[in-house]
Amino acid sequence: MEYLTDRQKVILMLVIHDYVRNAVPVGSDHLVRHYHLDFSPATVRNEMAALTDMGYLRQPHTSAGRVPSEEGYRYFVGRLQEDVDLPDSTRQTISHQFYQTRHDIDQWGRLAASVLAHQSKAASLVTAPLSETVRFKHLELIATHGRQVLMVLVLGGGDVHQRVFALGEPVNQEQLSNVANRLTKMLSANDLDGVRRLAGAQPAGLEQDVLGWVIAIMERSSTPGFGAFYSDGLSNVLAEPEFASPEETRRALRVLEERSLLEELMTHTFANHPNGVQVLIGGEGNWEELKPFSVVLSQYGAPGLATGMLGVLGPMRMAYGRTISAVRFLSALLSDMLSETLGDDAMR
Amino acid sequence: MEYLTDRQKVILMLVIHDYVRNAVPVGSDHLVRHYHLDFSPATVRNEMAALTDMGYLRQPHTSAGRVPSEEGYRYFVGRLQEDVDLPDSTRQTISHQFYQTRHDIDQWGRLAASVLAHQSKAASLVTAPLSETVRFKHLELIATHGRQVLMVLVLGGGDVHQRVFALGEPVNQEQLSNVANRLTKMLSANDLDGVRRLAGAQPAGLEQDVLGWVIAIMERSSTPGFGAFYSDGLSNVLAEPEFASPEETRRALRVLEERSLLEELMTHTFANHPNGVQVLIGGEGNWEELKPFSVVLSQYGAPGLATGMLGVLGPMRMAYGRTISAVRFLSALLSDMLSETLGDDAMR
DNA sequence: ATTAGCACTCTCGGTATGAGAGTGCTAATT
DNA sequence: AATTAGCACTCTCATACCGAGAGTGCTAAT
């Protein structure tokens, strides 16, 4: 990386600031006038030319102003990352909102997505926390209709799963309850391996069938990308001028609707950088579809117990400062709430 | 409603068919050539003029072809509704997909939304089924951390709810389990009134606190619009040429993202017409925001037990035949699956 | 090292223009 | 009486063509 003089840094920051605000290429005149710089447009032009040579700025065409390049954004974000924080009043408002839904776990994800979308004015993504070690907690079997059985399985950490299946022969509710109680007692607090081991020792029959389902669910629920997925603020992104044209709109929508790409991105990112807020600018060369986007991501949760991810996807021309601080703040907030709720005991 | 000659009907159908396909105003020449009509363009012009007078067609401007009006679509849909059906092969494919997820209730909604979006090439909406009478089934209390308690409440029909709350003083897991067992035994199979009555007879204390939460959840879970909400295929709609312009895109997105409007629409529609597939064209004058859209809706479920709604929202220029039949088929399919799963027994 | 001056480049909005599509009317035809 | 050929007319859309304006890069002066 090449060195920038202080003045070049100032100019780079201002160009980014202005471009993020107005979505219009920034010219030397405009910059000097608008920010009361104490050097002349010509000087700015020279510096801009230098910044362009170094790859931090781009020119859409010969006679337009400058626009930050991916490199430019990266430099900016690198400098910036440490010292931004959400205003106190905002933090309090958000904390308050979460305080009000503190009892209702199911709402946390939605609220986080909503807050994040609102703060960043971009699209937000939140995955529900996933327990890292799955433990059996409670089993319920409900006779419904003929040989149909509804199974409700509660796992440690409060994951709840439902399945429907049919038995070989009709069984009444009383028998089912007996089986459920016996299995609950037997399996209680076991992890997947434990359940497998105990299942091996059981004779074939109703118990064995149910155990098969329990194991299947416990296997699936520990694979990442399985849990709930909240998203909000798509319209924020599509409202940005860079997605005005129909093809751009389509491209953007494909990315936003296609959950799998984002999951891959998240998993991949955190495999390499598990901690802190990650900023991916323009897909970082790896994701062609994300070229016009930037993504700000963070993990949250209690490491070793349960973790989820949350983040923001927006145009590369994004208010990074605000977004990064929002992601960091929410990640910390959710982590606190989660570890308060799912203390160590809950996982056993 | 005025009478149409057979020839006028043919022409109206063809105009709609062609316009739905190509999104281009239909001219008399084009119609005759493309569909090998055995009368001349001039005749078609006369008939078109008549249809325009009667309000079934519109002219975007003096020298463009004709476009169906809302009235035109309505007439068309009215004639059509009885005799369309999804091709056998499609029905089998869909049935097969559902067969594969038959065990996984949680997936039904998502799958239905996906299939519906795919079949109609528009945006789909599915609400999870909601039990009409809520009955207590099972309660689980899990000590997590300090005085935090995680409560899992299973209601008849398999609704599962989670809440977190804090107790006045620490209570260990054993005590909690005792309380949970006692309350489960006491409340089992009671509806909201029953639970209220039993709660009244309890002394204040831990039990009373828990009962308060149970009642709150049971109250909320019986209000419509509370359950899960699946949606898919937004991009199908936004890809349509009528939403190409930025403002139109925004308008469309507001409608699609704003869940409340659609819920209001659904509730209102089924209050008046509980049965069968409902088609709302252009908002029917009541919903300004839905002016450019049409909505095809149906209820599904076992009436008296649990019902949900599903439907499609797309541009007024919609393939009504296919969409109506898809909605009807899926509604029937889900109803079957639901009543098979939640037979009478499940609701007690 | 900075800046004023200036020629040059490129985009963008507005206007003209002409082809093409489609209509509605009239008069002829069946 | 219904249908159709013929035709003048209207309106849109794509294209081309400016001219204004914004912004640059270079040179020469400060």
Task: Name the CA radius of gyration of chain A, rounded.
Answer: 26
B96/B233 same-domain check: yes
Q: Which nucleotide is nearest to B42 (CA to C1')?
A: D4
Residue in A152, A163, A164 closest to B154 by CB: A152
Residue of chain A whose alpha carbon sits nearest to that of B246: A244
Q: Is B147 in the A-facing interface, judged by CB distances under 8 Å?
A: no
The alpha helices in chain A, defined as continuous H runs, are 6-22, 28-35, 41-54, 70-80, 88-100, 105-120, 173-187, 192-200, 206-221, 234-239, 246-257, 259-272, 320-341
B104, B246, B343 ranked by CB distance to A146: nearest: B343
Q: Are residues A331 and A230 in the same domain?
A: yes
B267/B183 same-domain check: no
Residue B72 maps to a domain: yes
Domain boundary among B221, B254, B282: B221
**Record: contact A142-B253, CB cut-off 8 A:** no
Does B202 contact A at CB distance below 8 Å?
A: no
Q: Which two tokens stand for residue A79?
A: 């400098």
Amino acid at position A331, single letter: S
d(CA B256, CA B124): 10
Task: Decide if B91 is inside a domain.
Answer: yes
- A152 — contact with chain B (CB < 8 Å)? yes
- Domain presence at residue B146: yes
- DSSP character at residue B1: -
Residues 245-264 of A with CB under 8 A from B: 246, 249-250, 253-254, 257
Residues B259, B122 within the same domain: yes
CB proximity A106 to B under 8 Å: yes
- Chain D positions within 7 A of any protein Cβ atom are 3-6, 9-12, 21-27
In this prediction, residues B270-284 reach a mean pLDDT of 89
pLDDT 10s digits, A170-216: 888 888 888 988 998 899 889 999 999 999 888 888 889 899 999 99
| A69-78, B48-57, B95-104, B253-262, range with the lowest pLDDT | B253-262
pLDDT attached to residue B54: 94
Q: Mark which of A221, A245, A279 sits at the end of a domain.
A: A221
Q: What is the distance between the alpha carbons of residues B280 and B294, in angstroms, rounded to a whole number?
A: 6
Binning pLDDT at 50, 70 and 90, where does residue A333 land? Answer: very high
Q: How far is the CA of B61 from the C1' of D16 (A)?
A: 26
pLDDT, tens digit, 9 for 90 and up, residues B48-80: 999 999 999 999 998 889 999 999 999 999 987
Residue with the larger pLDDT of the pair A341 and A34: A34
Contact between the CB of A25 and strand D at under 7 Å: yes
Tell me, yes or no, whether B334 and B240 share the same domain: yes
Q: Look at A160 and B162 and tell me if their CB atoms are within 8 Å.
A: yes
**Pairwise CB contact (< 8 Å): A235 & B246:** no
In a domain, B126, yes or no: yes
Range A18-25 average pLDDT: 94
Q: Which residues fall within 8 angstroms of residue B346, CB to CB, at 6 or more apart?
A: A142, A143, A144, A145, A150, B156, B157, B158
Boundary of a domain, candidates B181, B206, B221: B221
Indicate which CATH number applies to the domain containing A178.
3.30.390.60
Tell me: do B338 and B245 sit in the same domain.
yes
The reply to whether B303 and B237 lie within a common domain is yes
What is the CATH classification number for the domain harbouring A124?
A: 3.30.450.40
CA distance linking residue B125 with residue A172, whole number of Å: 37
- CB contact residues (below 8 A), chain A span 116-145, against chain B: 137-138, 140, 142-145
Q: Residue B348: pLDDT above 50?
A: no
Number of domains in chain A: 3
> A158 touching B, CB under 8 A?
yes
User: Closest residue of B to A141, CA-based?
Assistant: B158
Q: Is the pLDDT of residue B347 over 60?
A: no
Instruction: State yes or no: pLDDT of A2 exceeds 80.
Output: no
Question: Quick one: B116 and B252 in the same domain?
Answer: yes
pLDDT tens digits, B296-309: 999 998 877 788 99
Structural contact between residues B56 and B78, judged by C-beta atoms closer than 8 angstroms:
no
Q: Does some domain include residue A252? A: yes
Using pLDDT thresholds of 50, 70 and 90, give the confidence band for residue B345. very low
User: Residue A11 is part of which domain span?
Assistant: 6-81
d(CA A242, CA A23): 8
State what percent of residues in chain A have pLDDT above 70.
Answer: 95
B45 touches chain A (CB under 8 A): no
Q: Does any domain span residue A1?
A: no
pLDDT tier for residue A347 given thresholds of 50, 70 and 90: very low
The CATH number of whichever domain residue B29 belongs to comes to 1.10.10.10
Q: Using the structure, give the distance in angstroms from the CA atom of A51 to the C1' atom of D26, rounded to a whole number.
A: 18
* Residue B328 shares a structural domain with residue B236: yes
* Structural domain contains residue A99: yes
Is B47 found in the same domain as B29? yes
Instruction: List pLDDT tens digits, range B22-32.
Output: 999 999 999 99
Side-chain-facing half-sphere of A249: CA atoms under 13 Å: 26
For residues A337 and A100, is the Cβ–Cβ distance under 8 A?
Answer: no
DSSP B92-128: HHHHHHHHHTTT-HHHHHHHHHHHHHHHHTSEEEEE-
Judge if B195 and B231 occupy the same domain: no
Cβ-defined contact of A164 to B102 (cutoff 8 Å): yes
Same domain, yes or no: A108 and A211: no
Looking at residue A81, what is its pLDDT?
63
Is residue A141, in this structure, part of any structural domain at all?
Answer: yes
